[in-house]
Every structure is written in C-alpha cells, then in structure tokens.
Amino acid sequence: YEEDDNMKGLRYGKVMIMTDQDHDGSHIKGLLINFFEHFWPNLLKKEGFLQQFVTPLVKAFKGSNVQSFYSMHEFQQWQQSLPNGDTKGWRIKYYKGLGTSTAQEAKEYFSNLDMHRKLFVTTGQEHDVIDKVFNKHRAADRRQWIEDYASINDESARFIDPTQSNVTYEEFIDRELIHFSNADNVRSIPHVIDGLKPSQRKVLFGCFKRKLMQEMKVVQLAGYIAEHTAYHHGEASLHSTIVNMAQDYVGSNNVPLLVPSGQFGTRFQGGKDFASPRYIFTRLSPIARLLFPEADDALLEYLEEDGQRVEPTHYVPIIPFLLVNGCAGIGTGWSTSIPSYDPLAIIHVIREMLRGNNDPMALSTMEPLVPWTRGFKGSIMASDISDSFISRGKIDRVKPTMVRITEIPIGRSGSDYKDTLHKLIEQGIVKAYREGHTSTTIRFEAVSTRATFDAMESS
C-alpha cells in the first residue's frame, strides 16, 4: 500500500479503533496498531487511516452540571481545584467503556464526532517506538522507557491533551500506552511491604470490612468486594483471586489468608480444578488479623476511587508476608519470582534483629534462610547459581524394574509430571506407569528395564 492507487483495492478507507477508555483499552489499541505496523506498515503512514474514538472515563454530575474527564489525571486535577478537594454534592461515575453509556449519551458522542474522533498521524519514527513496546527481546528498553517516564516532573507531559484532534504514534505510546504498562507492573508485581497484589489487597480489605468470620459463597463475596473497593474489572478474575488466597494444597500458600470450604483445587491440577464459585464458601482465616492487626487500620493510607475510600496503598503485616507465601509476577520490563519461607524461621531472624543483632557481622553468622513449603516431602537446596535454589521430588526404586515417585518439585503439578512421563514413554525410556494419587498426595509408579534404572542410578 505504498502507492495511493493500491489503496483502491481496500474495501474501506479508514479504520476506527473503539475500545474501553481505561488502561486495558489503551493496551488493545496498542496491540491493533502493532498488528497493522507489522503486516501493513505503509497504512500507518496514510494520515488519518487509523483513528480512535474516545469517550469520557469519568463523569461528575451536580444537578444539570455535567463534567467529563478523559483520564484519571484530568479528573484528579479537577478534584484538586475544588475547595479542600471535596467532591461532596457531586455524583461521580466511572465509565469503563461504551457499554456504560446510555443510549442518549452515545447519541451525544456521535453527534459531536469531531471532538471524540482522534486521527493517528505519522512522523516516520513510529516503527522504533512500537517495536520497543512489543518486541519480546527489548525488555531492557521497556524498563528504561518506564524509568524515563517516572522521572518526568511536568505532569502535563505525561498525558495527551484531550482537546487535540491529531495524535502521533509516539504520543500514544509515551503518553497513553505507558499508563497501561505502569499499571501492569503495579497489578502484576506484589508490594514489598505487604506481599500483596492490588486485587489480593482488595479481597483482604473487603473481608476485613465485612468482618467475614462466617462462611460466605465466593461468588457473593466477589460481588461485595467489587462494590466496596471500586473494582472495575471482570468478576471472574476476582473469583480466581479469592480462590487462590484460600488454596492450601502443597505448593500453594504456606499461610492461606482465607479458609477453603469446598473444592478449591488440588495439587494434581495446580489448583485449576476448583469448583464453580457458586458452590464454594470461604471466610477469613483466624491468623489473618494476627498478621494484619486491626489496631493498625487507622494508621494506614487509603486510596480513593469514584469518591469513596477503598483499600489502603498497602498493609503493614507484623512479619514480611512477601516471604511467607512467596510470589510470582510478570509485568512490563520487570518480573519477580520469590520462593516461600518457613514463617517460624522468619520470626527467628526478626527476633534476632529486634534484640540488636542487626549489624552485618552478627547477621552474617546466622544460618541463611532456605526456601520452605508446608507439607513438601522432597528437598530444597542451594544451586550453583547465586541466590537460587533447586527443589527435588522423591523417588524410590521399589523393584529392579519399578520406581515409585511420591513427591515432585515445587511448582510442578501432577498433570505436568504426567506429561513428562508420556514423553519418556515416547522416547522408550519408560515402558508404562500407573497412578495412585489422593487429594493431598502424589504417587506415580513407572516401569522400565533393569538396565535403564541401573544406568540412571549410576549417572
């Protein structure tokens, strides 16, 4: 499509992207722009070929007075301009996408198309900025991109002016899509202070607010949390978060904050085989308020969304909860993977520090913490790579031609290991196997030749 004449073969002259106005909507825009740039880069050079339709993200109502805002930054600036930043008397409504708008509002948007339609225009530099964001080999560039954004002092330089009619691809990437990438890190990587991701923190806040000491259906609890924490995403992900926080099979949580009542998943399927949220119940674990004392609640800094106070920026547990259950998360430019540790070993180290033994020399003589998983019958030991560990399962040769596997490495599910055995059968290493698992234990018995097992033992 380098030549204009070739454009005549298209069945359309323009493409308008209509997505939600939130961060996820920006991500979808970016994915579509990357799709066109990869397959038909010349179409991006046609000014106005790609367009976007923008709608308000937040509206404030006061009688006949309606204020529309196209980003949270714009809304927060308006809020700060009010006396004492108080929105009392205003009704605040969050618009995730066009589906939130009434038919009348949609007619208003389309009747004023020039205001809501933004044309993407080229500067000739779009290939590199798009590649920087989506090329899987440029994670280091994405880290630098987000760090550069964080160092910008001029707040207006972080956002696209909602009044401008044209948007360059660089402006979209650096002033809109970057907010998704930043939010992706925030919700994918746990906070170092409380070891929780935002969705987990919302669940814990909702349970504390509800004083959830009696069992409640997971689906009902999710609805309560969504209402009281201004949760703007699908409730299916909230169901999954609640279930994950209650799971107690080996390799899930050393200390679950919620109590599972019903089928919350097994180790064999990696917890994915939990029952429908309509059928399972949960409540706060008795230890939750010991780890996160109620006396601290008044000292925490709370977030505000849609004019209501929601969960705190982070809780302050009495021990580093990040180490208790471990964590894993992949964001944009960053990722994390921290194993779980024995809470009693963590408490021992903290007590030594509180006794004044926190100078480097004293701490260096202490036994280093080693990852620990409740109920794990295998072994965990330091590897040759610095600051990393290897977990090993348990295997016994019960007959010259049979081995029994009663434990598998942390992070592996029974079904994963079953796939491994199938591959060994295809390679001719294993002849056959049988299973004898329970809801809490793993058991495989694999059969092969005496020579094969002799060679494995000697290697």
The answer to whether 306 touches 231, Cβ cutoff 8 Å, is no
**Calpha distance 171→173 (Å, rounded):** 5
Instruction: Report the C-alpha gap between 233 and 215 in whole angstroms.
Output: 24
- Cα–Cα distance for residue pair 198/187, rounded to 1 Å: 6
Q: Tell me, yes or no, if 279 is annotated catalytic.
A: yes
C-alpha closest to that of 337 among 217, 189, 438: 189
Burial 182-199 (b: 16+ CB within 10 A, else e): bbbbeebbbbeebbbbbb
- Round to whole Å and give the CA distance between 64 and 53: 25
Token readout for 249 is: 């099979």
Please answer whether residues 373 and 254 qualify as being in contact, where contact means their C-beta atoms are separated by less than 8 angstroms: yes
Q: Which member of 94, 231, 279, 341 is catalytic? A: 279
Amino acid at 128: D
Q: Comparing C-alpha atoms, which of 62, 41, 61 is closest to residue 50?
A: 41
Closest CA to 33 of 45, 280, 22: 45
Q: Is the CB of residue 93 less than 8 Å from the CB of residue 19?
A: no
How many Cα atoms within 13 Å fall on the side-chain side of residue 167?
A: 26
Q: How far is CA 147 from CA 74, 136, 173, 178, in A?
A: 22, 18, 14, 11
- Give the active site residues: 279
